[in-house]
Chains A and B, each alone.
Chain A
């Protein structure tokens, strides 16, 4: 098995694993709950759940997760916005920076192997968690 899938293999006929409606919706619901509760996208739950429970490859899980975050975060932002808990000026500046950064990040991802991505993902989270607890 090659380390990298050849380009152009993602058409419907080549998609290997067809996860059930219920399992995907359940993973989504749990991720949405975390997203609304903690202001994150929910990818932190979705990516490992898709890889470990459903058997997706890391790259497929990350792509699906990122796309699902769009409606999930929109609904969450509306809930917080109605309560006055959104700083619009800060959001505008943060978003402008994010848009520049996210393209570079996605390009860098294509140069990394599945294993390496998992390792980076986990290590990154440990560092952030410790920073929050040290405070």
Chain B
């Protein structure tokens, strides 16, 4: 193994550490940081970055879920129903992603991130408009 390859693996370990911390903090899988970093910093193809990201996400999600569960935040029924629809969507989304060009996929990814960011910073007003949904049954 060459020094370059070792250096890249060391860099990937640091990236993993950072992504894992944010995943645990934000309750996401961390892929949203992993994919851009693998592409922008480490020069991965978009497709390989995405496939690798999905694999990396799994153990982090398992550990993070265990921690939430121990802290009494996890409602198993919620997760099971989300997953029931989720696995079907994952197959469809993956097959489609593999069918399109690498550069196009990267551009789509960037747009997806921007839309997501805008949408998440928006909800404050809507939340205040609809306090009933937030407090129902509490």
Contact = CB atoms under 8 A, between A and B. Distances in A.
Tell me if B's interface is mostly helix, strand, loop or mixed.
Answer: helix
Given A38-B112, A105-B23, A135-B40, A60 B136 contact: no
Interface residues of B, number: 101
Contacts of B23: 41, 66, 98, 101-102, 105
A121 B113 CA distance: 12
Given A42-B29, A55-B136, A83-B98, A76 B24 contact: no
Contacts, number: 425
Nearest to B138: A16
Contacts of A9: 72
A30 B88 CA distance: 9
B35 A52 contact: no
Contact of B24 (A59, A109, A135): A109
B29 A43 contact: yes
Contacts of A44: 28, 32, 116, 120
A37 B97 contact: yes
A3 interface: no
A21 to B, nearest CB: 6
Contacts of A29: 85-86, 88-89
A104 B24 contact: yes
Contact of B20 (A85, A105, A117): A105
Contacts of B119: 48
Contacts of B85: 24-32
B86 A39 contact: no
Given A70-B65, A97-B12, A24 B82 contact: yes
A87 B89 contact: no
A93 B63 contact: no
Given A32-B87, A47-B27, A38 B72 contact: no
B49 to A, nearest CB: 7
29 contacts: A24-B85, A25-B85, A28-B81, A36-B94, A39-B49, A39-B53, A40-B28, A42-B90, A43-B27, A45-B116, A52-B127, A64-B82, A65-B27, A67-B65, A67-B68, A70-B65, A73-B29, A76-B90, A76-B93, A85-B48, A85-B51, A94-B13, A101-B18, A101-B19, A102-B64, A109-B26, A125-B117, A128-B33, A132-B106
Interface of B: 9, 12-36, 38, 40, 42, 44-45, 47-65, 67-69, 71-76, 78-98, 106, 108-110, 112-114, 116-117, 119-121, 123-124, 126-127, 133-134, 136-138
User: What 10 A-B pairs are tightest by C-beta distance, nearest first?
Assistant: A41-B29, A97-B16, A62-B27, A105-B24, A39-B50, A32-B89, A36-B93, A101-B20, A80-B51, A98-B20
